[in-house]
Chains A and B, each alone.
Chain A
Amino acid sequence: MPEQRRRPIAASQRPTGGDKAIAGTKKQYFRRRKVCRFCVEKIDYIDYKDVRLLSAFISERGRITPRRITGVCTPHQRRLSEAVKQARNIALLPFAANA
């Protein structure tokens, strides 16, 4: 399976994770290490009211982006998904956006 590349929108919003190069097994390609944005920016409470922040972690269709793409750590991804779901409930974020 080809390695999933980071999406271009997320790249601009994410902090740099140090230019650590990870060499692939066969081909030599470089990937920046993913770092959890909430850990880096020391965001303690992921607020469901903060639409700007949350919308960085949902796809165009309104789906929650998996952490293998965004690099969010497990505890923060859990709180993030909770916050997104709360925001959906109160119509701040869509359940399903069309394209």
Chain B
Amino acid sequence: MRVYEELFIVKPDATEEEIGQVVEQVQSAIISGGGAVAKIDKWGVRTLAYRVRKQGEGYYVLMQFNSGPETVKEIERRLRVSDLVLKFLTVRIDEKLKRVEKRKKQREARAARRPAPPAPAPEQPVSVPGTPEPQSEKE
């Protein structure tokens, strides 16, 4: 199972009901593929950065779900068929989430190792002109 994020743009002149139908379609594809929807976020109408199919605005919908890769194929197919959907973007985010989690843990471990509040004075190294400061945060 992988975590995905699907962001798609529906035509701005679509009714609330029609948007609901598109969302419903995607949702049913996820569920029939054995996945689960984690989040549906309707951003509403936004101006597009460039014109898409002669539209200057679009209704953005963001969905987060976990499923297998075949489900994504099916979702994309459905979105492509739909006339109401202007554009869509699928991003796999589970690895990104994992990385964020790892970094957070690292940071916490570092904070725990070094009791931060007392004695901040010896932390400050004497800066020598001309030498670059040591980078504390590096990937």
Question: Which of B's residues lie within 8 Å of A, judged by CB?
Answer: 7, 9, 48-50, 52, 58, 62, 86-89, 91, 96-97, 99-100, 103-104, 107, 127, 129-130, 132-133, 135-139
Q: In the complex the two chains form, is B133's CB within 8 Å of A18's CB? A: yes
Query: In angstroms, how far is the closest chain A Cβ from the Cβ of B56?
Result: 10
Given A20-B127, A44-B100, A48-B91, CB of A91 within 8 Å of CB of B50 = yes
Given A42-B107, A92-B49, CB of A75 within 8 Å of CB of B139 = yes
Q: Is A14 an interface residue (CB 8 A)?
A: no
Partner of B129, one of A21, A42, A44: A21
Query: In angstroms, how far is the closest chain A Cβ from the Cβ of B139?
Result: 4
Interchain Cβ contacts under 8 Å between A and B, 24 examples: A18-B133, A20-B133, A22-B130, A33-B132, A33-B133, A40-B137, A42-B107, A44-B100, A45-B96, A45-B97, A45-B99, A45-B100, A49-B62, A73-B139, A76-B139, A88-B49, A89-B89, A90-B87, A91-B48, A91-B49, A91-B50, A91-B58, A94-B50, A95-B49
Partner of A44, one of B9, B62, B104: B104
Interface size on A, residues (CB 8 A): 26
Question: Which of A's residues lie within 8 Å of B, judged by CB?
Answer: 18, 20-22, 33, 39-40, 42, 44-45, 48-49, 62, 73, 75-76, 86, 88-95, 97
Closest to B104 in A: A44
Query: In angstroms, how far is the closest chain B Cβ from the Cβ of A52?
Result: 13
